[in-house]
Structure 1
Amino acid sequence: MDSTKSSEIDIDFSPYLIIYKDGHVEQLNESIFVPPSLDPRTNVESKDTPYSPENNLSLRLYLPKNTHQNQKLPLLVYFHGGGFCVESAFFSRYHSFLNSFVSEANIIAASVEYRQAPENPVPCPHDDSWTALKWVASHSDGKGPDDWLNHHADFQRVFFSGDSAGGNIAHHMGLRHGLDKLEGVNVRGIILVHPYFWGEQPVADDTDDVNLRKKLEGMWRFTCPTTSGFDDPLINPAFDPNLASLGTNRLLVCVAENDVVRARGWYYTEILKKSGWGGEVEVMESKGEDHCFHLTNPTSENAVALLKKFVSFINQD
């Protein structure tokens, strides 16, 4: 065995991650695991609760501290990004983001941890996320295992959201809900933030950078080695025969001007409208910004505007 193999780079996707030839992934965006807590900045409380003990998987619940007994709040289920191979619901940037989101919107939220590639390739992250949703939905009658969800989640006002790979997951969770309804759950809206979609053929305004396209395609094959290719419905919604079944009637798609997947976000809204889906879709584009900028620079003017848009989307319901 070549002793230098572990240091040989296969895909350099800086500034986000590097995939090495031996299969291990190095995350370049520094972040740390943080425990649940009462956040003094937002007055939001959080706790971790298992949803799949057999796979050692939990989700992190967030609740405003001043919530009255049995007060019902809209429920947000959030799926973190990271290309299906890095990041965590328990990383500091996601913990901080969810604290802010919950406080500003006055909602209860569940942030889902799922297994990732290469040990658990796509569609494992999607399957884990669906398991989490079914566990959350088991509280719709007020008799589930978690008191916060029993007492405070309004299951007639449920929202899915996620960024990057998490946006991909949120889309697919919307499709699964459309095809196999979560009992007692009304998904009133889905928010996709810089969703990770791709395709074999370029679309309008897509990148023509050959090397960048190869990197993206290499990362997809790394995380989903059994894929049929870049028109696999898991990564290209245009080839999904069930696209019109998206289980909500309101959708917000957020894109960033300098993001490599920006064009795919716009394209997604076009094909969704043509699919026969009968809902309303809105797009918000952040000028001068790159992929998931709101997580790395949350106090910037554009990040604050993005959060306000999330809040208004939920509260206008």
Structure 2
Amino acid sequence: MSRSSVTDKQICKISATFSCLFSCFHPQKSFFKANPPPPPSSEMGGYEVDDCRGVLKVFSDGSVWRSTEPSFQVPVVDDGSVLWKDVLFHQPNNLSLRLYKPAAPRGCEKLPVFYYVHGGGFCIGSRTWPNCQNYCFKLASALRAVVVAPDYRLAPENRLPLAVEDGFTAVKWLQSQIVASEPDPWLVESADFSRVFVCGDSAGGNIAHNVAVRLGAGSKSLEPVRVRGYVLLAPFFGGTVLTRSEAQGPVDAFLNWELIDRFWRLSIPAGDTMDHPLVNPFGPISVDLEPVELDPILVVCGGCDLLKDRAKEYAERLKNWGKKVKYEEFEGQQHGFFTINPNSEPSMKLMQIIKDFITQYSI
């Protein structure tokens, strides 16, 4: 096969194959781990109808089983260079977030605040999963930032819009800290509340977008907190009309169409479609974003990600409407490449792009 005859789809298939081979020969990089088996279907009151990466199973009677273990089998790499702790940010729903900051301060410097909202198709994932924690270590160290990694309620037990509401509540929590009579010194002594960036990965990227639209440019409702920009990493958007990358993406992709479709079925409000306003930013009943003023947005996607076409269209439309939007695509990379292998060359390049974005809009 000549180089010129290799299609994008073939390149992505080759990339996926090498990723699988890499995980086989490097056990510490394996994607998934064995989880405790769920109770027999008879005990759950029905038969299994959906399985999400082995950590979430849905049964015909609507009952749900969740594993207590994460789906990613990677060790937590905590070398002490980053401090971290958990904080309850919404007591009624028992939602916590994890805070990170560099262990070695540089004089009296105040650090930007960088939210990292995890992915998982609105159905799985947690701030406590090792892949999330390792990436937050990297973010705190490389960006020299206070990183805030919140959890949110998951579907199908808690369908949209609850995850988006929880993401917004997590950002509002920062405002409550700065105006509190007794704020957390661990946070306020290090954080620059005038330099906040909201980043989301996959489903978290969707949440970040919806927070951006709700707050608008300048984030006036958060004063004295100031959001400067948003980073959308492979944002999880959808629509009833499939894009080319969704329809023609390889079935063995890390995030293939079968899994995308399952995540949406389990998370969209009952009776709605993938043109729901929280799912499709440009759907027939979605808010017209052209007149909406937004803070700067960085959109990132892998060239082999089935979500690529939607991410690119999102960035291009907003840019054509005069928004400050930058799109970065990483050739040959799968969905979530930056957390799967945070030390890879593309992941390190992405980290520098994020750092430059923060620097550019911190002034």
Give the TM-score band, short-chain normalised: 0.7 to 0.9
- Per-residue CA deviation, residues 34-56 of structure 1 (Å, 9 max, x unaligned), is 7xxx9326x11001111112221
SS in 2 for 1:243: coil
Q: Which amino acid aligns with 1:200?
A: T
User: CA separation in 1, counterparts of 2:326 and 2:45?
Assistant: 44
Structure showing greater Rg: 2
Match of 1:253 in 2: 299
Residue 39 in structure 1 maps to residue 78 in structure 2: yes
Q: What displacement does 1:10 show?
A: 3.0
Q: Which amino acid aligns with 1:29?
A: S
Give the alignment partner of residue 136 of structure 1, picking from 167, 174, 189: 174
Q: What displacement does 1:269 show?
A: 1.1
SS in 2 for 1:3: helix
User: CA separation in 2, counterparts of 1:5 and 1:206?
Assistant: 33
Question: Conserved in 2, the CA contact under 8 Å of 1:101 and 1:311?
Answer: no
User: CA separation in 1, counterparts of 2:290 and 2:178?
Assistant: 26
Give the alignment partner of residue 193 of structure 2, picking from 140, 155, 158: 155
User: CA separation in 2, counterparts of 1:242 and 1:33?
Assistant: 44
Give 5+ residue unaligned stretches, structure 2: 1-39
Q: What displacement does 1:226 show?
A: 2.9
| Paired residue total | 311
Change (3 A) 1:149 1:79: same
Q: Which amino acid aligns with 1:191?
A: V
For normalisation by structure 2, the TM-score amounts to: 0.75
Residue 262 in structure 1 maps to residue 308 in structure 2: yes
Match of 1:271 in 2: 317
Question: Conserved in 1, the CA contact under 8 Å of 2:146 and 2:191?
Answer: yes
Match of 1:224 in 2: 268
Change (3 A) 1:78 1:232: same
For normalisation by structure 1, the TM-score amounts to: 0.85
User: CA separation in 1, counterparts of 2:330 and 2:48?
Assistant: 32
Match of 2:137 in 1: 99
User: CA separation in 2, counterparts of 1:305 and 1:210?
Assistant: 25
What do you get for the CA RMSD once the two structures are aligned? 3.2
Give the alignment partner of residue 302 of structure 1, picking from 346, 354, 363: 346
Residue correspondence of structure 1 range 106-117 to structure 2 within 5 A: 106-117=144-155
Give the alignment partner of residue 281 of structure 2, picking from 237, 255, 260: 237
Question: Conserved in 2, the CA contact under 8 Å of 1:159 and 1:190?
Answer: yes
User: CA separation in 2, counterparts of 1:82 and 1:105?
Assistant: 24
Match of 2:210 in 1: 172
SS in 2 for 1:226: coil
Match of 1:29 in 2: 71
Q: What displacement does 1:253 show?
A: 0.6
Q: What displacement does 1:217 show?
A: 3.2
Q: Which amino acid aligns with 2:277?
A: P
Percent same amino acid at aligned positions?
Answer: 34
Give the alignment partner of residue 185 of structure 1, picking from 225, 229, 237: 225
Change (3 A) 1:2 1:316: closer
Q: Which amino acid aligns with 2:230?
A: I
Question: Conserved in 2, the CA contact under 8 Å of 1:33 and 1:90?
Answer: no
Match of 2:30 in 1: none
